[in-house]
Structure 1
Amino acid sequence: MYKRIHIVVLLLCIISFGAAFPVYAAEEDQGKPILSSDSAILIDAKTGTVLFAHNEEKQQFPASITKIVTGIIAMESDQDLSSLVTTSKEARNEEGTRIYLEEGEQQTLFNLLYGMLMNSGNDAATAIAEFIDGSKAKFAERMNRFVVEKAGATHTHFVNPSGLPDPEQYTTAMDMAKIARYAMQNRLFRTIVGTKTLPWNGQTWKTTLVNHNEMLGNYEGTTGIKNGYTGDSGFTLVTSAKRGDLELIGVLLKSPTKSALYKDMTKLLDYGFQHFDLQQVRAANPAYPLAGTEPENSATDEPLYAVVPKGETPVITVTPDREVKVLTSLGEYSAGKLKPISPNMAAIARQYGDIDASVQRAVLKEDVPKEPSASTKVKIFIVWVGLMAYLCLIAVIRVRRNRIQRGRSF
Structure 2
Amino acid sequence: MKQILHTMIAAFTLFIIMHPDKASGIKDPDLSLKSEGAVLMDAKTGRILYEKNGHASMYPASITKIATAIYAIENGDLDEIVTVSEKARNAEGTKVFLEEGEQVPLKRLIQGMLINSGNDAAIAIAEHMSGNVEQFSKDLNEYLLKDVGVEQTNFVNPSGLFDPDHRTTAADMGKITKYAIKNEQFAEIFGTKSMEWEGETWQTTLLTHHKMLKQRPYEGVTGGKNGFVSQSGFTLVTAAQKNGLSLIAVTLKSPNDSGTYNDTEKLLDYGFGHFETKEIAPAASLVNDKKEPLQLTEPIPYTKGKDEKVTTKINRLNELVVHGEDGQELASAKLEPAIPEGQGISQNLQENKEEEDKYFSSHFFLAAIAAFLLVTFISGTLYWQTKR
What is the TM-score with the length of structure 2 in the denominator? 0.79
- Matched positions, count: 322
Which residue in the other structure is 2:31 paired with?
A: 33
SS at match of 2:55: coil
Which residue in the other structure is 1:99 paired with?
A: 96
Which residue in the other structure is 1:239 paired with?
A: 238
Question: What is the CA-CA distance between 1:322 and the residue it aligns to?
Answer: 2.3
Deviations 1:187-244 (A, max 9, x none): 0000001010001001111100011111214110001121110011100111010002
- Contact 1:323–1:334, Cα closer than 8 Å, also in 2: no
1:152 partnered with 2:149: yes
**262, 283, 286: which is aligned to 2:284?**
286
1:346 partnered with 2:339: yes
What aligned pairs does 1:231-270 form with structure 2 within 5 A after superposition?
231-270=230-269
2-side partners of 1:163 and 1:153: how far apart?
17
The one-letter code of the counterpart of 1:156 is T
SS at match of 2:286: coil
Question: Which consecutive unaligned segments of at least 5 residues does structure 2 have?
Answer: 1-17, 21-25, 347-388
Which residue in the other structure is 1:323 paired with?
A: 319
What aligned pairs does 1:1-400 form with structure 2 within 5 A after superposition?
32-77=30-75, 79-217=76-214, 218-280=217-279, 282-284=280-282, 286-289=284-287, 296-341=292-337, 345-347=338-340, 350=342
Cα pair distance change 1:35/1:61, threshold 3 Å: same
2-side partners of 1:330 and 1:202: how far apart?
54
The one-letter code of the counterpart of 2:250 is V
- Contact 1:298–1:339, Cα closer than 8 Å, also in 2: yes
Question: What is the CA-CA distance between 1:314 and the residue it aligns to?
Answer: 1.2
SS at match of 1:226: strand
2-side partners of 1:162 and 1:263: how far apart?
25
The one-letter code of the counterpart of 1:277 is E
- Contact 2:312–2:320, Cα closer than 8 Å, also in 1: yes
Question: What is the CA-CA distance between 1:90 and the residue it aligns to?
Answer: 0.2
Deviations 1:63-88 (A, max 9, x none): 001111110011001x3211111110
2-side partners of 1:262 and 1:42: how far apart?
14
SS at match of 1:346: coil
The one-letter code of the counterpart of 1:112 is L
- Contact 1:157–1:169, Cα closer than 8 Å, also in 2: yes
Cα pair distance change 1:324/1:192, threshold 3 Å: same
1-side partners of 2:143 and 2:74: how far apart?
11
Cα pair distance change 1:161/1:322, threshold 3 Å: same
- Contact 2:194–2:205, Cα closer than 8 Å, also in 1: yes
SS at match of 2:339: helix
Alpha carbon RMSD of aligned pairs, Å? Answer: 2.3
Question: What is the CA-CA distance between 1:334 and the residue it aligns to?
Answer: 4.6
Deviations 1:366-395 (A, max 9, x none): xxxxxxxxxxxxxxxxxxxxxxxxxxxxxx
- Contact 1:288–1:350, Cα closer than 8 Å, also in 2: no
The one-letter code of the counterpart of 1:155 is Q
SS at match of 2:157: coil
- Contact 1:43–1:52, Cα closer than 8 Å, also in 2: yes
2-side partners of 1:113 and 1:334: how far apart?
34
Larger radius of gyration: 1
- Contact 1:286–1:346, Cα closer than 8 Å, also in 2: no
Cα pair distance change 1:257/1:350, threshold 3 Å: same
Which residue in the other structure is 1:376 paired with?
A: none
1-side partners of 2:211 and 2:326: how far apart?
30
- Contact 1:277–1:309, Cα closer than 8 Å, also in 2: yes
Cα pair distance change 1:194/1:298, threshold 3 Å: same
1-side partners of 2:43 and 2:93: how far apart?
31
Question: What is the CA-CA distance between 1:29 and the residue it aligns to?
Answer: 6.4
2-side partners of 1:57 and 1:312: how far apart?
25
Cα pair distance change 1:47/1:295, threshold 3 Å: farther
Question: What is the CA-CA distance between 1:319 and the residue it aligns to?
Answer: 1.4
The one-letter code of the counterpart of 1:93 is N
- Contact 1:324–1:334, Cα closer than 8 Å, also in 2: no
Question: Which consecutive unaligned segments of at least 5 residues does structure 1 have?
Answer: 1-19, 23-27, 355-410
What is the TM-score with the length of structure 1 in the denominator? 0.74
Question: What is the CA-CA distance between 1:301 and the residue it aligns to?
Answer: 1.4
- Report runs of 4+ in structure 1 exceeding 6 Å deviation: 292-295, 351-354
